[in-house]
Amino acid sequence: MNSVANNASLIKARYAIAIARTAKHSDRATALRLIESLAADEVAPGESPSVAEAHRHAIGKFADLAAALRGSRDAGHLWFPTERATRRWADLAGDAPGDGD
């Protein structure tokens, strides 16, 4: 576990929360571009296991949301689970061992 990687993950999670919030209030094409960029993220090698798992879960939610936005189906029901997964990732990254060192 690397506190630097967990701190970097916390910054990325907070960024993802802000971008997702912006995307939610954007037109579909803009939302898709923003969410696709979040879905392309990767877990850092030094993240603690719990942070890495939450990070992967959030990436998966972004990918699901991007797929819905890319297609013709309604994506409305996917926003809340995506936001929840991203908040959990941020919470875990902020509480990860080594945080504040």
The pLDDT value given to residue 101: 38
What's the structural domain count of the chain? 1
In a domain, 27, yes or no: yes
Q: How far is CA 89 from CA 27, 36, 48, 69, 74, in A?
A: 26, 18, 11, 22, 25
**DSSP 3-state of 45:** coil
Would you state the structure tokens that stand for residue 17, as one six-digit string?
């929360």
Tell me which residue of 1, 24, 34, 9 sits closest to 91, measured CA to CA: 9
Tell me which residue of 57, 56, 59, 54 sits closest to 93, measured CA to CA: 54
In a domain, 29, yes or no: yes
- Domain range holding 59? 3-95
52-93 pLDDT per residue, tens: 999 999 999 999 999 999 998 889 999 999 999 999 999 999
Q: What is the pTM of this model?
A: 0.89
In a domain, 101, yes or no: no
